[in-house]
Structure 1
Amino acid sequence: MDANEFRSRYAAGERSFQNADLRDADLRDADLRDTDLRGADLMGANLRNADLSDANLRDAKLIGADLSKADLIIATLSNADLRDANLKDANLIGSKLGVANLRYANLSGANLSGAELSCADMSHSSLMIAYLSGANLIKANLSNADLTGANLSITNMIGVNLTNANLSGVNLSGANLIEANLTEAKLNGANLGRSNLAYAKLTAAILKDADLSDANLAGTDLTNVKLDSTKLEGTILEVTSLNLVE
């Protein structure tokens, strides 16, 4: 099915396009609200600025697709393959991305407020200045991701993998990071005030100029962590391992 046929059928009222072959389709600026694209092949498709709000893209193949500035509010992308996809400045408020593959995806500036991202693979992805406040990131893989300047306040990040992630200047205030793995993570200037880091792993993490005021570090592993100029007022420091380095 080519893009013209797809657009015509949608304009005629059709909404079910399960398993459709739309590889490399040019669907820029298309109105695709409420479309059922479960299992569709959209590899390399151009969906820039498309309206996919409430669309069902579960199990869809979106490898290398351009979804920059697309509207994906409350869209379902569970288990979708979004490797290398461009989601820069996309609107993903309340979207469902559980178990989605977002390795090497570009999510810079994207709005993921309240999104469901549990167990999603976001390793090596770019989330610079992205907005994720209130998102569910339980057991998500964000290893080697770039989250510079992102807003992750009040997120649920129990068991999240942030190994070697760049979290410089990130807002993690009030985040739930119980049992999170932050080994070698860069948290320079990060705001972790009132966050829950109980039993988290911060081995060799860099927390220079970070704010840990009123944070819970009970049972946390701080082996070889760098705490230069870190704010610790009101912090619970019943750590399991403490070996600070300058």
Structure 2
Amino acid sequence: MNFAEASELLMSGAKGVSTWNQLRSLRQINAMDFKIDFNPNFDKPLDLRGVDLGGCCLKGSNLSDADLTGAHLYQTNLENVNLSRAIFTGAHLVEANLSRTNLDGATFERADLHQAQLCKAEGAARFSHAQMDRIDMFGGMFDGSDFSSATLVDARLEQISAMGAHFIGANLLRANLKNARLNSPVSTFNPARTRFDKADLSQADLSSANMSFVNLSGANLSYASLNNTSLTHANLEEVRMIGTALKGATLTGSSIYGISAWDLGIDDSTKQGDLIISRLGEAVISVDDLEVAQFMYMLMHNAGLRRVIDTITSKVVLVLGRFSEARKPTLDAIRVALKSQQFDLVPIVFDFGKPASRSTAETVSTLAGMARFVIADLSDAKSVLQELGAIVPSMPSLPIQSVILDAQQEPGMLDFLKRYPWFLEVQSYADEADLITRLDQVISPAMNMSKQIRENG
């Protein structure tokens, strides 16, 4: 059967497809019965390269082993077709219906499958470098398939099975992979391990998916949803997780060397444990919290960071006040004095230029928890008093030294704060020059109390 006869038969509708299937099933036949020049050696792959079957209904036909390289199959109905070992390299399959097809061994490299349907399709096929944006593969069985470098933006992959499949370098932006079975068969050392190396899964929905033993090294999971997803023993090395949702997820035994994790959506139902922060092949070091793990690795391998931690715990001084432009020189004077060789401290200044909010209060409390002591200028600063009212009673190891302009009356709230020994005697000053002259009297009491607290620690 030559090219023209084959394409004519396939395009002739249901009767032609039925005839085609008969020819494929029979090994020998009288050519006169079908009035075509039939090639008895029908097992030889049929050459349909470049054929135009756009819009045809080939439902239920047998195209196994056929070569459809570069074929035009726009909106073609290929439902329930046997496509095993067929070649569609570079073929045009936009909006084609390949639902319930047998794809085992088929090749779709560099094919255009935009908005095609592969619902309930089955078989290990090759889709490397294929264009598959907005494709619908709901419930398909693609175990062992190759999607490397394919584009699957906004694809529907819900409830698919792709165990042992390769998505290396694939673009799965906003893809729907809910309840997908993506776990590697058996174990991490299985050669058929599912791979998403360097894949873009940003904003993808992987909720309730099984990704145990999967290789996700270098993947982008930013703003993805992995709620209730199993990532047991997954390779998460150098993965990017920014704003990733992990509520109810299981991450036990995963390797997270080099991970970048920020603003994660984690709750009490997130299962974390034995997270490996050492590089593969090194002595295993593990912790039980994803965000802590990232910090601990940085702490172990960055001497500069260790010096920063030492600075935070021994030298930071929190300076609170409302420093208007007219009084900013006072702030600068305090800063310079704290940084001088005499004190060798690191000032962190919090200027209450606006009314305190809940986020402001949380920030001030966090900074206070890292400080050696606090200097608070109460001049024209009602918000500072509010924050001191929250900090002083709850932080007995934090000396508080307050100052105020002579011209201003001490607030009544100070009577409450003065009950706490670590709230030091208020120092008054006439003006900036006076404060600079007596800075040692302001700073030394707080330094001495801090020293006593540390020694009695």
Identify whether the pair has TM-score above 0.5, normalized to the shorter chain: yes
Q: Distance in 2 between matches of 1:218 and 1:231?
A: 18
Q: Distance in 2 between matches of 1:219 and 1:136?
A: 22
Alignment map for 1:84-99 (pairs within 5 Å): 84-91=115-122, 93-99=123-129
Higher relative contact order (CA 8 A, sep 6+): 1
Match of 1:222 among 261, 267, 275: 261
TM-score (norm 2): 0.51
Match of 1:235 among 275, 283, 291: 275
Q: Distance in 2 between matches of 1:196 and 1:223?
A: 18
Q: Distance in 1 between matches of 2:140 and 2:295?
A: 37
**Structure 1: runs of 5+ lacking an equivalent:** none
Other structure's SS at 1:88 match: coil
Aligned amino acid, residue 153 of structure 1: N
User: Contact 2:255/2:275 (CA < 8 Å) preserved in 1?
Assistant: yes
Alignment map for 1:168-187 (pairs within 5 Å): 168-187=207-226
Q: Distance in 2 between matches of 1:40 and 1:240?
A: 54
Shift in alpha-carbon separation, 1:218–1:128, aligned structure 2, 3 A: same
Q: Does 1:103 align with 2:133?
A: yes
Aligned amino acid, residue 272 of structure 2: L
Match of 1:55 among 86, 89, 109: 86
Match of 2:314 in 1: none
| Percent identical | 31
Aligned amino acid, residue 216 of structure 1: S
Q: Does 1:161 align with 2:197?
A: no
Match of 2:363 in 1: none
Q: Does 1:211 align with 2:221?
A: no
Q: Distance in 2 between matches of 1:143 and 1:52?
A: 28
Q: Distance in 1 between matches of 2:160 and 2:296?
A: 32
Answer with 143-152 or 233-242: which moved more: 233-242
How far is the alpha carbon of 1:240 from its aligned partner? Answer: 6.4
Q: Distance in 1 between matches of 2:87 and 2:97?
A: 17
Larger radius of gyration: 2
Match of 2:158 in 1: 128
Q: Distance in 1 between matches of 2:296 and 2:175?
A: 26
Match of 1:30 in 2: 61
Aligned amino acid, residue 274 of structure 2: G
Shift in alpha-carbon separation, 1:32–1:241, aligned structure 2, 3 A: farther
Aligned amino acid, residue 122 of structure 1: L
**Structure 2: runs of 5+ lacking an equivalent:** 1-6, 24-37, 185-193, 277-289, 298-457
Other structure's SS at 2:263 match: strand
Aligned amino acid, residue 213 of structure 2: G
Other structure's SS at 2:12 match: helix
User: Contact 1:221/1:240 (CA < 8 Å) preserved in 2?
Assistant: no
Other structure's SS at 2:210 match: coil
How far is the alpha carbon of 1:239 from its aligned partner? Answer: 2.0
Aligned amino acid, residue 12 of structure 2: N
Answer with 12-21 or 174-183: which moved more: 12-21
Q: Distance in 2 between matches of 1:32 and 1:143?
A: 32
Shift in alpha-carbon separation, 1:16–1:225, aligned structure 2, 3 A: same
How far is the alpha carbon of 1:226 from its aligned partner? Answer: 1.1
Aligned amino acid, residue 195 of structure 1: A
Q: Distance in 2 between matches of 1:122 and 1:38?
A: 21
Q: Distance in 1 between matches of 2:75 and 2:82?
A: 17
Q: Which runs of 4+ in 1 moved over 6 A?
A: none
User: Contact 2:100/2:121 (CA < 8 Å) preserved in 1?
Assistant: yes
